[in-house]
A and B are shown apart, each in its own frame.
Chain A
């Protein structure tokens, strides 16, 4: 429930705030941060379903290919999940780092699948710079989103982490 509400709020912010900001301004991908949090901390069978649903909801408000964001969000969840199984992820830096790489992966993945692999190889200076800056912004905002999510979990008396049995 917490993640469902957080996704709706994140999507609303992403679609509305970008409209108010000056042309070309970048805005962090909040839904992606939620998917990474799921992968790093929520190791139950419902978590991948939530990640898929987040991507599917994003598909309703972004892009032209249905399933593209659902695919990328599920993939990012799985990568974060596998990372958290094999790497010590309680440090504060691993979350933003994962988010940064995940944002880069998602952006390049969406461009490659949506427009063909050749589109990525033709990405030139300014466009590539924007993709990297977007990833850095999302990574920079992620600690605050993680803190908000943890506060929400505490308020609802949910465990901060759900480990696989």
Chain B
């Protein structure tokens, strides 16, 4: 009788298991598994498991950075007087903490102003982690479906629009930034009312697509949300026209946009949890 370990299946079990899993991953990719699907459920568990560590470490992050910085600044003082160094270190720590609190207060005050200005129901959230690979432009927020955050909702910061939510678990959610190549926001150029889609590109930039070559666009023109995508209300600032390329063939202009919000320094954001009234009305009718 043939030894079971001498069969083709047993000899190639690692490669075969890998092949089956590769097919499963390809199936997940091609079928576009969505939030709430069976295959997507464990994903929420991963976010939930890491969330407490991410929230704690993001709070400690700035303090740790200050500590590191101050250590080097005070190295020469330490050689002269150990006691003085500790005292100065403590004072600097306290001062850095106060400056940090002041900056946070300022940011929160700006967010509050913005919240009142847009007059829609919003939820404030902290950015607690960045994208795990750095290739995609996503971030993890400190609020989730427990606070009413759902995939597809628009996210803004003090500068302007920053992106959309792509997934949410009870206590955390993921934000796809404006400069991710999968992001698309319906927008128009404020001065000429030329409509297009604002999207990210692979090399970290932001462009406005599908604007006809005949349109009147100038560098510096503000680009705002059109309110037609059902996510953002009309007129929220996205950025300004940074460069326009009219060379080459094609029906459309190549427009580069400079985002109004600093996407690399986001700390607090507002998630729009209420459908803009004009869209809610049109949906009802």
The distance in angstroms between the C-alpha atoms of A67 and B29, with both chains bound, is 5
For B169, the closest partner residue in chain A by CB is: A60
Residues of A within 8 A of B166 (CB): 64
Q: Are A56 and B14 in contact (CB under 8 A)?
A: no
**Listed stretches A46-54, A90-98, A143-151, A153-161; interface member:** A46-54
Q: Are B134 and A63 in contact (CB under 8 A)?
A: no
Chain B contacts with A in 63-112, Cβ cutoff 8 A: 64-65
Per-residue CB contact flags for chain B residues 251-270 toward chain A (1 = under 8 Å, else 0) read 00000000000001100000
Given contacts A56-B43, A62-B133, A119-B181, contact A74 B18 (CB under 8 A): yes
Per-residue CB contact flags for chain A residues 6-27 toward chain B (1 = under 8 Å, else 0) read 0010011011101110011011
Residues of A within 8 A of B11 (CB): 164
Q: Are B131 and A15 in contact (CB under 8 A)?
A: yes
Q: Are A71 and B22 in contact (CB under 8 A)?
A: yes
For A114, give its contact among B25, B40, B182 (CB under 8 Å): B182
**Listed stretches B54-62, B115-123, B214-222, B228-236; interface member:** B54-62
- Minimum CB–CB distance from B24 to chain A (whole Å) comes to 7
Please tell me if B39 contacts chain A, counting CB pairs below 8 Å.
yes
Residues of A within 8 A of B136 (CB): 62-64, 110, 114
Please tell me if A122 contacts chain B, counting CB pairs below 8 Å.
yes
Q: Are A110 and B133 in contact (CB under 8 A)?
A: yes
Residues of A within 8 A of B180 (CB): 64
Please tell me if B158 contacts chain A, counting CB pairs below 8 Å.
no
Please tell me if B138 contacts chain A, counting CB pairs below 8 Å.
yes
Residues of A within 8 A of B65 (CB): 20
Interface size of B by CB at 8 A reads 58
- Minimum CB–CB distance from A160 to chain B (whole Å) comes to 17
Please tell me if B47 contacts chain A, counting CB pairs below 8 Å.
yes
Please tell me if A142 contacts chain B, counting CB pairs below 8 Å.
no
Residues of A within 8 A of B15 (CB): 78, 81-82
Q: Which of A47, A62, A82, A106 has the most CB of B within 10 A?
A: A62
Residues of B within 8 A of A61 (CB): 46-47, 50, 129, 131-132, 138, 140, 174
Please tell me if B202 contacts chain A, counting CB pairs below 8 Å.
yes
Please tell me if A29 contacts chain B, counting CB pairs below 8 Å.
yes
Interchain Cβ contacts under 8 Å between A and B, 11 examples: A51-B18, A62-B132, A64-B180, A65-B29, A66-B28, A67-B29, A67-B39, A68-B25, A74-B18, A111-B202, A115-B182
8 tightest CB-CB pairs across the interface, nearest first?
A: A67-B28, A127-B203, A23-B264, A71-B25, A15-B129, A60-B46, A48-B18, A63-B136
Chain A residues close to B by CB (< 8 Å):
8, 11-12, 14-16, 18-20, 23-24, 26-27, 29, 31, 43-45, 47-49, 51-52, 55-71, 74-75, 77-78, 81-82, 106-107, 110-111, 113-115, 119-120, 122-124, 126-127, 134, 164-165
